[in-house]
Structures are given as C-alpha cells and as structure tokens.
Chain A
Amino acid sequence: MALTASVSVAESSARERMAPPSRFGDKAFEWLTLAMASAVVVLVILIGWELWIGSSLAIKKFGFRFLTTSTWDPVAEQFGALPFIYGTLVSSAIALIIAVPLGIATAAYLTELAPLWVRQPLISLIEMLAAIPSVILGLWGIFVMVPWLRNYPFPFLKQYFGWIPLFTGPIYGPCMFAGGIIIAIMILPIITSVSREILRSVPDLQREAAYALGATRWEATRIAVLSYAKKGLFGAIILGLGRALGETLAVTMVIGNTPQIVASLFKPGYTLASVLANEFTEATTDIYLQALFEIGLVLFGTTILVNLLAQLLLRTIATTSATRAVQ
C-alpha cells in the first residue's frame, strides 16, 4: 500500500512538472497499422471476388466438372482444369523436395559452419540468384539445363530407377521434372535467405548450452539450432511454396505445356499459372476467357488451401514437439 502511494505521489509530482503525455500518437499509430493490415485482407478478398465475378459464366456452365475433368479444348469450348491443378501440385512438390534440404543446409552452413570470408560472397551469390529475371532463367532452361538433363541425369534415372513409374517412358527434354527443377532453382534463394535469418536469430545461449552438455557440432546444430528454429524454418518453406505455386514464365518454357495426368515425370505437364500466361492474351470468346479467369480462381484457391494445410501441419508439429519436450 505504502509503495503504491509513494509511486502515485511521484507520478502526480511528475505530472505537475510537464504536460500530460498525449495518447494521440499511440492511437494514430494503432489505427494506421490496423488500416494497413486490413488493406491486405480487403485486397485478397477483392481479388477473389473479381475472379469469381469474371468466371461466373464458366462456373455456371461447367460447375464442379471444371475441377474434375481433363479436356482443355478452346475450339469445342470444353474446359477442365484437373491436369493443370495436378501439374501445379506435382511441380511444386518436386521443387520443394529439391530446394528445402538444399536451402536449409546452405543456411545452416552459412550460420553455423562457414568461415567468415566465405559467408559474405556466398550470401551475395545466393541473393543474386533471386535477381535473375525468370525469362532469362527460362531461356537458360531451354538451351542449357534441359539438354543436359536429357543427356545425363534422366537416362541415368531411367536406367537404374526405371522400375519406378515416375522414371519411365521416352525422354524428350521438356517435362514435369524439368519444370520442378527450374522452380527449385527459383525458390532456393528465398528459402535460403529466410532460413539464414531465422537460424541467425537463434540465441547463442542455445548453442553454448548444447556444447556445455558435451554435444558435438552436429548435435548442437541439430538439437539446439535447427530444432529450436523449426517453426521459423517451416515458415520459410511455406514462403517458398507460395512462390512455387505461382511461378510462371520459366516453368512455361521447360515444362512442355501439355495438359495430361501421367505418372512419368519425363512426360510434359502443364501448370495453372502457365496456361494463364500462354492463353490469356489471345482468348477471344467469352466462355474461353471466363474459363481462364476460373483457372485464376482455382490457382488462388489452391494457394490458399495449400497454405492453410501447411499452417495446420505446422501447428501439429509444434504441439507434438511440445508434448515430446514435456515427456
């Protein structure tokens, strides 16, 4: 009691000495940030709404069939998006399988192991990778990457892993696999950079504690750093996934642009973003244009859905690791 009294006395004497602090700045800041944050939400809703309106005719005409059929025929005006959805998911999955281990391992090397003189050049190099325009990457894909893949890694995979349906059939070059690899290259910088920031923010206390318990360098990195930063790393992967789903130009140049659902990764595929980039400018009939709008809507929905699923997965992982820690 006495303490509060003395505090209030000190406060009131301070108040007498200067004008009461204005709360206006705080309020203004609060409103401003709220406005900014809601602007993002409104923007997302508006985009969804526009896409919905823009594709209303197609939605009415094709209904749910749009998501479950595989024919894409602008002449007969029959449109089904399934091969594009499949292509988007498969190419993104290939990209993540390649880019996630590579990105996180690079980040771990940069923060935990690399000598100082290596770090900065390597970081700049990775960030430069992000600055390459996708059309350049696509051209490089056509002229360098695809011929190389066709001549060396693909025949190797076919010879030794041909018993897996994924690696069967003739090898032409442009294919689902090539599309996934080019996406992997494109999302590698963002996964690496974000992961590096996250690993850097792991307190040194963590590492020191691990070493103090007699952990080796690998154990310290695994237990004290990677495990500690799991949530953040997952966020980095989701950011990469978001980009992977929407990558357009470079993918279009190497994926072969054939709407089909086949097991073999050596066969050409097609993605939602690619068909939009390819066909939007020359679509002349209403229903065709509307079907393309609906492709946009499906891409929008797929992105949101995949993100939600990823968040859900993240929460499950977080809770299970928490229970394990308690046990």
Chain B
Amino acid sequence: MLGLSATASAQMMINGAGATFPYPIYSKWFDEYAKVDPSVRFNYQSIGSGGGQKQILAQTVDFGASDGPMSDDNLSKAPGKLLHIPTVAGADVVTYNLSGNPALKFDADTIAGIFLGQIKKWNDPKLMTLNPGAKLSDQEIVVVHRSDGSGTTYIWTDYLSKISPEWKTKVGTNTSVNWPTGIGGKGNEGVSGQVKQTPGAIGYVELIYAIQNKMPYADVKNAAGTFVKPTLESITAALATAEIPDDFRFSMTNAAGKDAYPICGATWLLVYEQQKDPAKGKKLIEFLKWAATKGQGMAKTLDYAPLPESVQQRVLKRIDEIKS
C-alpha cells in the first residue's frame, strides 16, 4: 500500500485543455503513452478551442489545444512565444436528405450559392449540370448549419471564404458566423438529426461523424478540378500540398493537390517555447515527439487523418526548439 501511494505521488500530472474535435484521439494517445512512460499522466479537458486558447494564455494549463490557429491579436497577449504544433487533420463533408439517396457532386460555386441562399431549389440548373444522372425535383433546399461555435464551422467558412469573394466580404471565417440563410443545429448530432428529419435538407458535419453514422456525403470538386471523395487519404493529400508557413498557422482548405479534398483542416496543440517547469517541459517534449511519430499510426483507427511524412519532419524540428 505504501509503495503504491509513493509511486502515485511521484507521478507527474500534465494538464491540458481545449478543442473537442481531437478529444478521442488525444485520450487514446494519453492512454497509450501511459504504457510508454508510466511516470507521467495527462489530464485533458475538452472545453472547446476558445477555452483552450484562453487557458494557455493565462498559463493555467501546460498545453492548450485548438481547432483553428490563434489570431495575431490573441498571440500578442501571450507572455512568451507560443508554438502551434499540428497533430491530426479532419474534414467537413456535405450531407443531404433527398429521396432515393442519389450520389451527388458539388463544386465551389454550388456550395457557396446554396449557403449564401442564392441557389434555392434542388433542380437549379447549376446542380443539374453537375449531377446529370440524379433525379432532382423543384424541392426547396433547406440549409442546416452548426449553431454552436466549432472548429467544423471554422473549416467550412474558411473554405467558403477562399472560393467565394462574396462570402468573404459578407460573412467571413470564424467558429460561428452570421449565417445568410438556414437553420442551426447544435453539434454534429444536431445538424445530422435535422438533415435526416428534413426532406430537401443539406448540411455539413465532420467526416468522422458521417463515417461512424453511415451518412451519405458528396464528392467535391477541388482546386485542381477533380471531384474527390472525402477520405483519410484525400485529407492527408491536402495536408501534403497545403502551403504551410513556418509558424504552422496554416489553412489547408482548397489545397492545390490533384487528390486533395478541399474542405479540411488540422488541429493544433499550443505550447510555450520556453517551458516554465523544466521537469514537466522535458516530459511534454517527449510526449509531443511520440505523438508526432508513433501516435500518428493510431490516427487512422479512429478516423483521423495523420500528418504526411514531410509535415511530420517539420513538426519534429519545431518540437526540438522547445526549451525546458
């Protein structure tokens, strides 16, 4: 008994908080990592990206997590240099409810048109030309979007801002926006529930959620002009061809690659370059390295897209810069 409590007290606790989207893979990593290094335990609170950014700025946690890169404004509030460490990526898929469940294709124009409220009927000429085989009636399109602030919406609006100048000026990119049209559902389950229950509805959910709930989702035309199915491979392909600046605050929507799915985004861990507690900092660095290498292998089993080799190398280099 005595020995047990001694090891328990010797165990180091590393605290983190933030994004909900990567929570399943992070908990898996923390579980697995406990076997690699039993002397350290992780405590992660998935309170949302906003909370994650706030807490790492206030230094109440050892690392933060966010589904969107931090703004310049927020970064300037940090007491030290904050690093963005990308971990895994995911995608938003277009899901819909039409009788007969036709397989549909969309391009930038039609998605923007629908979500701006300009394409109102399913038999709009633009949709008909993209989907010559599908039977589309003059049913009204009911747009369903996320009502809660989320990384999913960030990716979605980031994509729309890139491909539609009108969206960029009228609406913009954020975790929640002033939607021009549609009804709001809370969470992936809220959006998918409302799409499933409303004939003629269209909405967006995370790929993971769509896969696990066997929902129909559309192919989307990418920047290179090919129609791509959202899969873990096409997300990693997007990561490989996305322009990634040195500070890793990148957006990977509408990536250039031929096989890249256009509506996807990464998620980040936020850590200070100069760690306050040397012992903790050392353990955190070890974990980050493990996550960027071994950990990546576990991503696919949980339907997350791993980082491509090229990005992994750059991430490892960045982790080496952390001082403890």
Task: List A residues at the B interface (Cβ < 8 Å).
Answer: 71-76, 139, 142-143, 146-147, 170, 172-174, 249, 252-253, 256-258, 268, 270, 274, 277-285, 289
Interface: B177 (CB within 8 A): yes
Interface of B is mostly: loop
Interface: B123 (CB within 8 A): no
Choose from A75, A147, A257 the contact partner of B173 (Cβ within 8 Å).
A75
Distance, CA A281 to CA B140, complexed state (A): 33
Distance, CA A285 to CA B142, complexed state (A): 31
Assess the A142–B148 pair: CB atoms within 8 A. no
Assess the A75–B172 pair: CB atoms within 8 A. yes
Return chain B residues, CB-CB under 8 Å to A147.
197
B residues 48-69 touching A (CB-CB < 8 Å): 48-51, 53-54, 68
Within the complex, what minimum Cβ distance (angstroms) separates B59 from chain A?
17
Interface centre among A143, A257, A274, A285 (most CB of B within 10 A): A257
Return chain A residues, CB-CB under 8 Å to B50.
280-284, 289
Interface: B102 (CB within 8 A): no
Assess the B197–A146 pair: CB atoms within 8 A. yes
Distance, CA A270 to CA B190, complexed state (A): 15
Distance, CA A253 to CA B54, complexed state (A): 27
Choose from B49, B176, B184 the contact partner of A74 (Cβ within 8 Å).
B176
Chain B residue at minimum C-beta to C-beta distance from A72: B178
Assess the B71–A282 pair: CB atoms within 8 A. no
Q: Mark B173-188, 1 if CB is under 8 A from A, else 0.
A: 1111111001111100
Choose from B48, B149, B186 the contact partner of A252 (Cβ within 8 Å).
B186
Interface: B171 (CB within 8 A): yes
Chain B contact-residue range equals 35 or more
Choose from B47, B148, B183 the contact partner of A279 (Cβ within 8 Å).
B148
Distance, CA A51 to CA B140, complexed state (A): 43
Return chain A residues, CB-CB under 8 Å to B324.
none
Return chain A residues, CB-CB under 8 Å to B149.
74, 278-283
Interface: B275 (CB within 8 A): no
Assess the A73–B49 pair: CB atoms within 8 A. no
Return chain A residues, CB-CB under 8 Å to B310.
none
Assess the B174–A75 pair: CB atoms within 8 A. yes
Distance, CA A244 to CA B230, complexed state (A): 42
Q: 20 extra interchain contacts, Cβ-Cβ under 8 A, other than A256-B183, A281-B51, A282-B150? A: A73-B177, A73-B178, A74-B174, A75-B177, A142-B193, A142-B197, A143-B193, A147-B197, A173-B197, A174-B183, A253-B185, A253-B186, A257-B183, A277-B148, A278-B176, A279-B148, A281-B48, A284-B74, A285-B74, A289-B50
Given contacts A139-B193, A142-B193, A172-B183, is CB(A282)–CB(B147) below 8 Å? Answer: no
Return chain B residues, CB-CB under 8 Å to A249.
186
Closest 8 CB pairs of A and B: A282-B149, A281-B48, A257-B184, A257-B147, A75-B172, A73-B178, A282-B175, A256-B183
Chain A residue at minimum C-beta to C-beta distance from B51: A281
Within the complex, what minimum Cβ distance (angstroms) separates B257 from chain A?
28
Interface centre among A174, A285, A289 (most CB of B within 10 A): A174
Distance, CA A75 to CA B157, complexed state (A): 11
Interface centre among A256, A280, A282, A283 (most CB of B within 10 A): A282
Within the complex, what minimum Cβ distance (angstroms) separates B265 from chain A?
14
Interface: B226 (CB within 8 A): no
Interface: B234 (CB within 8 A): no
Return chain A residues, CB-CB under 8 Å to B173.
75
Within the complex, what minimum Cβ distance (angstroms) separates A57 from chain B?
14
Return chain B residues, CB-CB under 8 Å to A274.
147
Given contacts A71-B178, A73-B178, A281-B47, is CB(A258)–CB(B148) below 8 Å? Answer: no
Assess the A278–B193 pair: CB atoms within 8 A. no
Interface: B246 (CB within 8 A): no
Given contacts A253-B190, A268-B183, is CB(A282)–CB(B48) below 8 Å? Answer: yes
Return chain A residues, CB-CB under 8 Å to B71.
284-285
Distance, CA A146 to CA B197, complexed state (A): 8
Assess the A281–B148 pair: CB atoms within 8 A. yes
Interface: B198 (CB within 8 A): yes
Within the complex, what minimum Cβ distance (angstroms) separates B197 from chain A?
5
Q: Mark B128-169, 1 if CB is under 8 A from A, else 0.
A: 000000000000101000011111000000000000000000
Choose from A172, A253, A270, A289 the contact partner of B142 (Cβ within 8 Å).
A172
Within the complex, what minimum Cβ distance (angstroms) separates B182 from chain A?
7
Within the complex, what minimum Cβ distance (angstroms) separates A224 from chain B?
47
Assess the B198–A173 pair: CB atoms within 8 A. yes
Return chain B residues, CB-CB under 8 Å to A143.
193, 197
Assess the B147–A252 pair: CB atoms within 8 A. yes
Given contacts A142-B194, A143-B197, A284-B175, is CB(A268)–CB(B184) below 8 Å? Answer: yes
Interface: B277 (CB within 8 A): no
A-B contacts, 24 listed (Cβ < 8 Å): A73-B178, A74-B149, A76-B178, A139-B193, A142-B193, A143-B197, A146-B197, A170-B140, A172-B142, A173-B197, A173-B198, A252-B190, A253-B185, A253-B186, A256-B184, A257-B184, A270-B184, A278-B186, A280-B48, A280-B50, A281-B20, A281-B50, A281-B51, A284-B49
Within the complex, what minimum Cβ distance (angstroms) separates B139 from chain A?
12
Within the complex, what minimum Cβ distance (angstroms) separates B30 from chain A?
21
